[in-house]
């Protein structure tokens, strides 16, 4: 930015509200931005380190000051402006503007020789479109990477880009385009001797071939992929190939072979209960169901539920619940089956990306409801399945025949349900009201008592786990205190012995954080810290990385949360609200405080307070008994 423009910009900040001054200082701190500084900034965004709140006000400030900022001759600062605006737009759910801003940021540098920076900008576009579930825009940015010449032909990353595009086209049912990029990836991976890329390309070719009636070579793709995976010795890839082999047998209605290969796939998984393992379990459970293996379905559904919760893969729970519902229907336990049917439906409805794209899942729920002669649930599930089949087939001209078959099947099944409804009504008339009432009350009491016993047991387990977590946190605090004292002694011994400037700066940083508690300043940033230490941000970032081995923002958050834990456990701050504690340690936002606290301690602030009290009471009781 020219000196005249910069002077005017700085003077204008004197007449703005406090928040807008903070926004302006962000740009005044980087008016002489270099390629190295800009690359560091782009890397921080890719690692999730971007936060300027409130986002709406920041976006408007960028709009209002765009002319003065974009008049600068510093191309990195101009590109920086567009990236900042893209991130603010995305934070305010204005994705289309965000994508345009990323394109502008790239255009500013398009004629310069900074390939790494240009690649990072396009990767930010890929990141934003991924978060927005916008497949077409993601393809746009990936193709820009492909066609820009940034990645040379012997770069395996270029092959990975081709594979991502192929996978996206497959999800969009554009199989010809997907195959085109698979072939590009196969060619490049062969030149690069990149076996992982070749295997993934072959597997994507297989998934495409299943949907193209003219391509009957899918068996070759699987065999070739397996041969390469075995020679590479990569167990994860071997597991993936065996899974796809099982899938091919499933599609050919050979469930016994499908089960065999699904089990083979699981035997090569590095970790039971991982996401890929649970994905295989979902298909294995379905094949067991079709093969009518009742006990096998019950066992794998139990494993499925336990691991989904343990690993926080809640999107898989609906499949586990469906398996349990089928198992209980088969074993004649109607109430349990209905319970898990409802849980399966509710869980799938809570998943935005799957709620309206699961016709096969809802049809399987209908099958269970049909086994139970449950008209209302059956009709609800079948209607959903039919509606989503029609929608999916409408979006793909090549699958019109399936739509007709789905509609015809729906009409037949609806007639069957109506007939079944009439039979149920006749059956109900034969039963006395007294029996129905007694059965319902008895079942409800048993279910309620079982649920209470189960929840009490779970609560005790959770409470004990939280107490243990708090105890470990307090022990770590003591250890950290001892380390800090030792470090101070070492630094004291070093004084006067030719300490390097880097060591002095590191020592000063520790003093600022541990004695002066600079992290309590809500607007603390690496730029502000660099000014305090009279150094530049690049050198300061290097020192922080060398000595702390963590990004600046992570360090600030850890000091803040350590201080928050001390305050939350202190009697002096008993009357403080959680928001007051958050503000005391430097957070502007309650939600940001909660997110950082949970990420570092494993608990919410409320849970932490409760368990500190429990631990304190437990220790008091123990002291009394001693």
Closest CA to 91 of 56, 64, 134: 56
Least confident of 154-168, 189-203, 557-571: 557-571
φ, ψ of residue 312 in degrees (nearest 5): 60, 30
Model confidence pLDDT, tens digit, residues 131-151: 888 889 999 999 999 998 889
What pLDDT is stored for residue 25 in this prediction? 64
Mean pLDDT of 262-271: 89
Burial class (CB in 10 A: 0-12, 13-18, 19+), 94: middle
Find all residues with CB under 8 Å of 583, minimum gap 6, and list them.
Answer: 522
Which of 24-38, 344-358, 362-376, 453-467 tops mean pLDDT? 362-376
Model confidence pLDDT, tens digit, residues 404-448: 343 344 345 445 544 554 565 666 667 667 677 777 777 787 887
What pLDDT is stored for residue 408 in this prediction? 43
Q: How many CB atoms are located within 10 Å of the residue 512 CB?
A: 16
DSSP 155-166: -HHHHHHHHHHH
Domain 1-150: CATH architecture, name and number where available: Alpha Horseshoe (1.25)
Asked whether the beta carbons of 241 and 203 are under 8 A apart, the reply is: yes
pLDDT at 521 over 70: yes
In angstroms, the CA 299 to CA 309 distance is: 16
CA angle 246, 248, 251 (to 5 degrees): 110
CA angle 206, 211, 212 (to 5 degrees): 90
Model confidence pLDDT, tens digit, residues 87-141: 999 988 999 999 999 999 999 998 888 999 999 999 999 999 988 888 899 999 9
pLDDT at 485 over 60: no
pLDDT at 527 over 50: yes
Asked whether the beta carbons of 421 and 375 are under 8 A apart, the reply is: yes
Residue with tokens 């008091």: 620
- CA distances to 10, 30, 78, 260 from 4, rounded to whole Å, are 10, 16, 17, 74
What pLDDT is stored for residue 581 in this prediction? 87
**In angstroms, how far is CA 386 from the centroid of its own chain?**
30
| No. of helices (H) and no. of strands (E), the chain | 31, 0
Find all residues with CB under 8 Å of 108, minimum gap 6, and list them.
Answer: 75, 78, 79, 82
Burial class (CB in 10 A: 0-12, 13-18, 19+), 461: exposed
Closest CA to 216 of 166, 184, 252, 185: 252
Find all residues with CB under 8 Å of 135, minimum gap 6, and list them.
Answer: 129, 168, 171, 172
Burial class (CB in 10 A: 0-12, 13-18, 19+), 363: buried
Asked whether the beta carbons of 360 and 392 are under 8 A apart, the reply is: no
What pLDDT is stored for residue 357 in this prediction? 74
- CA distances to 193, 198, 300 from 154, rounded to whole Å, are 10, 14, 44
Least confident of 216-225, 353-362, 477-486, 579-588: 477-486
Reported as half-sphere exposure (CB side, CA atoms, 13 A), residue 208 has a value of: 25
CA angle 362, 367, 373 (to 5 degrees): 120
**Mean pLDDT for the chain overall:** 80
What pLDDT is stored for residue 500 in this prediction? 55
pLDDT at 326 over 50: yes
Mean pLDDT of 562-576: 81
Model confidence pLDDT, tens digit, residues 17-37: 555 566 666 676 667 888 998
């Amino acid at each position: 930015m020219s000196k005249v423009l910069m002077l005017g910009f700085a003077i204008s900040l004197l007449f703005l509200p406090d928040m807008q001054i903070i926004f302006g200082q962000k740009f005044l701190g980087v008016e002489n931005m270099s390629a190295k500084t800009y690359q560091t900034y782009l890397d921080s965004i890719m690692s999730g380190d971007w936060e300027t709140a409130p986002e709406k006000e920041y976006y408007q400030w960028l709009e209002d000051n765009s002319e003065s900022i974009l008049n600068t001759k510093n191309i990195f600062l101009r590109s920086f402006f567009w990236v900042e605006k893209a991130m603010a737009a995305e934070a305010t759910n204005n994705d289309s503007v965000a994508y345009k801003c990323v394109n502008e940021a790239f255009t500013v540098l398009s004629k310069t020789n900074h390939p790494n920076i240009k690649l990072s900008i396009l990767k930010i576009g890929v990141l934003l479109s991924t978060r927005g579930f916008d497949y077409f825009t993601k393809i746009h940015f990936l193709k820009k990477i492909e066609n820009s010449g940034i990645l040379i032909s012997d770069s395996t990353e270029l092959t990975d880009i081709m594979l991502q595009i192929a996978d996206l086209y497959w999800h969009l049912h554009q199989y010809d385009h997907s195959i085109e990029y698979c072939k590009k990836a196969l060619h490049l991976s062969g030149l690069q001797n990149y076996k992982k890329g070749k295997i993934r390309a072959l597997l994507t070719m297989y998934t495409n071939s299943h949907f193209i009636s003219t391509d009957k070579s899918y068996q070759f793709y699987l065999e070739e992929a397996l041969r390469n995976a075995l020679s590479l010795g990569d167990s994860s890839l071997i597991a993936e190939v065996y899974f796809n082999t099982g899938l091919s047998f499933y599609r050919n209605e050979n469930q016994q072979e499908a089960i065999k290969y699904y089990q083979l796939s699981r035997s090569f998984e590095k970790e039971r209960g991982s996401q890929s393992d649970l994905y295989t379990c979902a298909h294995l459970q379905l094949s067991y169901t079709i093969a009518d293996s009742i006990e096998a379905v019950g066992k794998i559904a139990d494993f499925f539920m336990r691991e989904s919760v343990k690993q926080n893969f809640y999107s898989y729970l609906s499949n586990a619940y469906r398996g349990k519902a089928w198992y209980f229907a088969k074993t004649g336990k109607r109430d349990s089956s209905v319970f898990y049917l409802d849980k399966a439906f509710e869980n799938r409805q809570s998943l935005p990306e799957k709620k309206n794209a699961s016709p096969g899942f809802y049809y399987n729920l209908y099958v269970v409801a049909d086994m139970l002669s449950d008209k209302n649930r059956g009709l609800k599930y079948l209607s959903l399945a039919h509606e989503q089949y029609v929608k999916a087939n409408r979006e793909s001209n090549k699958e019109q025949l399936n739509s007709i078959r789905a509609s015809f099947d729906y009409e037949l099944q609806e007639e069957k349900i109506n007939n079944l409804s009439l039979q149920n009504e006749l059956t109900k008339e034969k039963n006395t009201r007294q029996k129905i009432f007694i059965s319902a009350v008895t079942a409800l009491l048993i279910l309620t008592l079982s649920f209470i016993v189960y929840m009490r047991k779970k609560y005790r387990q959770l409470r004990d786990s939280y107490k243990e977590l708090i105890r470990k946190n307090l022990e770590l605090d003591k250890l950290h205190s001892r380390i800090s004292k030792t470090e101070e002694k070492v630094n004291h011994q070093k004084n006067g012995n030719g300490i390097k400037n880097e060591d002095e700066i590191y020592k000063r940083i520790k003093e600022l954080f541990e004695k002066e508690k600079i992290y309590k300043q809500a607007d603390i940033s690496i730029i502000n810290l660099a000014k305090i230490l009279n150094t530049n941000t690049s050198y300061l970032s290097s020192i922080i990385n060398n000595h702390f081995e963590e990004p600046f923002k992570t360090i600030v958050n850890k000091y803040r949360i350590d201080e928050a834990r001390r305050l939350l456990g202190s009697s002096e701050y008993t009357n403080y609200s959680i928001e007051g504690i958050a503000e005391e340690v430097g957070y502007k936002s309650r939600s940001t405080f909660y997110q950082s606290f949970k990420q570092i301690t494993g608990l919410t602030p409320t849970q932490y307070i409760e368990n500190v009290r429990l631990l304190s009471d437990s220790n008091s009781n123990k002291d009394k008994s001693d």
